[in-house]
Chain A
Amino acid sequence: MSQMISAVSPHFHHPRTTRSIMLDVIIALVPAMIASVLIFGLRSLMVIADCVAVCMLSEWVFEKLCKKENTLGDLSAVVTGIILALNLPVGVPLWQAALGSVIAIVVIKQLFGGIGQNFANPAATARIILMTAFSSSLTNWAVPQPFNFMPDATTGATPLALMTKGETESLPSYLDMFLGNTGGCLGETCALALILGGVYLLIRGVITWHTPVAFLGTVAVMSLVCGQDVLAQLLSGGLMIAAFFMATDYSSSPATKWGKIIFGVGCGLITILIRFWGNFPEGVSFSLLLMNILTPYIEKLTRKKPLIGEVDN
């Protein structure tokens, strides 16, 4: 008889793998990708394809050079590419998007040890670096114009910029903001698509409700306290995509239940601080980065006590 396999227990495993989780995230991002094409035109697809391709290529090249195992199969590079693209304006020069992708994968992910090891969210950090380096092209907001292949000529202000300037009377309607028919980055404007994707992730158990609810809840409450338009704050900027897809990144956010809540509340507070009192109209990426840095401490604080004595909840 052939040799018996003598593996260690357990001999059963849940079918979920890293790859299947990433596949779920990609599926959850499909509505937002479709929305980006409908809203900003087919060039959206070019930006997404650009980022995904460069992310995958840089991961492959890096791992080849470092003689590490090829991990393209886990699909995490694809997820990073899509999320980064959705965080860029449609008119972004493709080389800048490509540069952002290289930064996200090589500097932020791989140099820290690859999947699961990066302390910061690759897409959020790359967005910040690009914004700082190329502020003109990255804040050149296209107004929605479906089915246009070329970077457009007409640009306009995002709802957040309008609010920061106090021009609330020229804000788009709530419905337009909910459907994403406003200026902004590719994937951040359509709240409907993002919520759909977020709910899918919740149902699939890829994310839990703690982070998005804490994040969005804090922004809502603080907007109310500060006398701002709550709905407009919730529906504008990169809040929705961050709350569902970026603040829930496994590597750069706490794994504990209370940690996720603290992380979400922290993100919400910093977002509000920057939005209402800072120089940038948008504070979401910065809030993510700052909370990423605090993650190890939050985890330490919120780690469950092993069951040695009393049982509490």
Chain B
Amino acid sequence: MKLKGIRVPHKKHTAQMPPVRIPVPKTVTIPMAMHIGRPAKPIVKRGDEVKVGQLIAEADGYISAPVHSSVSGKVQKIDEMMTAMGAKVACVVIETDGLQTVSETVAPPDVHDLKSFIDAVRQSGSVGLGGAGFPTFVKFSFNNDEKAVDTVVINAAECEPYITSDTRTLLDRTDDVFSGIALLKKYLNVKRYIIGIEGNKPEAIAKAQAVASQTEGVEVHVLPPMYPQGGEKVLVYNTTGRLIPQGGLPLDVHVVVLNVTTLAFIAKYVETGMPLVEKCLTVDGSAVKEPKNVIAPIGASIADVLESAGGFKSEPAKVLYGGPMMGIAVPDLTAPILKNTNAIIAMDEREAQPPKTTACINCGACLTHCPLRLDPRAIAKAYKKGEAEDLKTLCVDLCMECGCCSYVCPAKRHLVQTNKLAKAVLRNYQAQQKAKEGAK
């Protein structure tokens, strides 16, 4: 049995288009928080000359990631900026000189054992490139005695509509992907590697299979062409048959999940020492004139990227970081490309208008389509009544905010939004419970 989900229009218009590098923008704005964890601490100041690949901010604490300059030029200022996620972060704004001179510090790292490998991954600034941006090295820092990892699942599902940047990684950088696997084999001592690809990418599947058949321990799993196959829980279950427990991590079922582009990047870094300073991303959507895949320096503005895609067919009314199912709407086009940005989707007025919400008709579509078998209709009722105990029984904390429920709801109810709020209610309630117990 496989966990399913919903059929969404794939819209993979750009699957056949190898990425093209965009011209060097005049300035780049590099935020210090492009990962989960503490923001990085800037080590440059106004007026400093920087080069491509040079460290400009250090990781602050364990769960954090360093940041490198994506361009050569001069630091114009260090500014506070509001991100699309609604947080204030410091940003290093660099005026480019257009030369893209590579920093002398860029040199292949010395990697000879697990520790030096993890260190290298940490120095590279790598974060989960497909999703939330969790620092990659943490995933490798498991204690092999307690939680022996026996499988690495490589996420190439790319289930969001429009996005094809991971597909391009598999097609254009197959060698990097497989040298990445070789590195993991050597240092992590894990034998089994599963590449999970959604069935709607026949070419990527064929290419991966061809190489996998000559590599020991690598399997290619073709996933049903249904959203959200790339969701961690769904992916791990559908490839390994193991279910990540409530509140748990893939590690709990002896699995490490790695995005395919992250893996390719790590291989390239170990080879060249060039840290994470640019990103391949898909530019598409109803307002975009020439949808394509591009390689953009991190910190380039969305406007720069859209310009390289021929500008607009029509005035964009909504622009997203990421795909239409889980993407985040940006406040304006000056927002920068982040490490984990895999797509910029610009929608025209017609596509962007949120549909009108009407009363729940109790049709049950939301609960029959939830991949995790939650009941968003009941969650919404319990949330409205403030019944935290019910929210607990309904396991709202499991919700991965994939959006299947909202997508299918004929009444267009904001079920994901309600779930997010309900999760917060449950968290508060559980914290209070704990405090009470402590007081006793």
Residues of chain B contacted by A76 (CB below 8 angstroms):
361
Residues of chain A contacted by B358 (CB below 8 angstroms):
17-18, 71, 74, 115
Residues of chain A contacted by B395 (CB below 8 angstroms):
306, 308
Complex alpha-carbon distance, A305 and B243, angstroms:
14
Complex alpha-carbon distance, A74 and B359, angstroms:
10
Residues of chain B contacted by A6 (CB below 8 angstroms):
318, 329, 331
Complex alpha-carbon distance, A16 and B317, angstroms:
23
Contact pick for A4, options B317, B325, B410, CB 8 Å: B317
Residues of chain B contacted by A165 (CB below 8 angstroms):
none
Q: Are B324 and A1 in contact (CB under 8 A)?
A: no
Q: Are B243 and A13 in contact (CB under 8 A)?
A: no
Q: Are A5 and B364 in contact (CB under 8 A)?
A: no
Q: Are A255 and B362 in contact (CB under 8 A)?
A: yes
Q: Does A14 contact B (CB under 8 A)?
A: yes
Q: Are A10 and B329 in contact (CB under 8 A)?
A: no
Contact pick for B330, options A4, A12, A254, A305, CB 8 Å: A4
- Chain A residue nearest to B361 (CB atoms) is A116
Residues of chain B contacted by A254 (CB below 8 angstroms):
364
Q: Are A13 and B329 in contact (CB under 8 A)?
A: no
Residues of chain A contacted by B233 (CB below 8 angstroms):
307
Complex alpha-carbon distance, A116 and B316, angstroms:
36
Q: Are A307 and B373 in contact (CB under 8 A)?
A: yes
Complex alpha-carbon distance, A16 and B355, angstroms:
11
Q: Are A255 and B318 in contact (CB under 8 A)?
A: no
Q: Are A12 and B407 in contact (CB under 8 A)?
A: yes
Contact (A8, B324) CB under 8 Å given A1-B332, A14-B407, A18-B361 = no
Complex alpha-carbon distance, A71 and B357, angstroms:
12
Q: Does B353 contact A (CB under 8 A)?
A: yes
The interface stretch among B68-76, B190-198, B411-419 is B411-419
Residues of chain B contacted by A305 (CB below 8 angstroms):
373
Contact pick for B353, options A5, A9, A16, A116, CB 8 Å: A5
Q: Does A132 contact B (CB under 8 A)?
A: no
Residues of chain A contacted by B398 (CB below 8 angstroms):
306-308
Residues of chain B contacted by A164 (CB below 8 angstroms):
none
Residues of chain B contacted by A10 (CB below 8 angstroms):
324-326, 403, 406-407, 416
- Chain A residue nearest to B322 (CB atoms) is A9
* Chain B interface main SS type: loop
Q: Does B311 contact A (CB under 8 A)?
A: no
Residues of chain A contacted by B362 (CB below 8 angstroms):
116, 250-251, 255
Q: Does B374 contact A (CB under 8 A)?
A: yes
Nearest chain B CB to A294's CB is how many angstroms away? 15
Which residues from 1 to 35 on chain A have a C-beta closer than 8 Å to any C-beta of chain B?
1-2, 4-14, 16-18, 20-21
Bitwise, B228-270 to A at CB < 8 A (1) or not (0) is 0000010001000001011000000000000000000000000
Q: Are B403 and A9 in contact (CB under 8 A)?
A: yes
Contact (A255, B377) CB under 8 Å given A5-B317, A115-B359, A307-B233 = yes
Contact pick for A1, options B327, B333, B377, CB 8 Å: B333
Which residues from 348 to 391 on chain B have a C-beta closer than 8 Å to any C-beta of chain A?
352-355, 358-364, 367-368, 371-375, 377-378
- Chain A residue nearest to B319 (CB atoms) is A4
- Chain A residue nearest to B303 (CB atoms) is A1
Q: Are A303 and B325 in contact (CB under 8 A)?
A: no
Q: Does B106 contact A (CB under 8 A)?
A: no
Which residues from 93 to 113 on chain A have a C-beta closer than 8 Å to any C-beta of chain B?
none
Which residues from 287 to 310 on chain A have a C-beta closer than 8 Å to any C-beta of chain B?
303-310
Contact pick for A7, options B3, B332, B354, B411, CB 8 Å: B354
Q: Does B315 contact A (CB under 8 A)?
A: yes
- Given A11-B327, A307-B372, 14 more A-B residue pairs with CB atoms under 8 Å apart are A4-B316, A5-B317, A5-B352, A6-B318, A9-B325, A9-B326, A9-B327, A9-B328, A74-B358, A255-B362, A255-B364, A307-B373, A308-B245, A311-B243
A residues contacting B by CB (< 8 A) are 1-2, 4-14, 16-18, 20-21, 71, 74, 76, 114-117, 250-251, 254-257, 303-311, 313
16 A-B pairs with CB atoms under 8 Å apart are: A5-B353, A6-B331, A7-B329, A8-B417, A11-B329, A12-B407, A13-B409, A14-B6, A17-B410, A18-B359, A71-B358, A74-B358, A304-B375, A307-B3, A307-B233, A309-B243
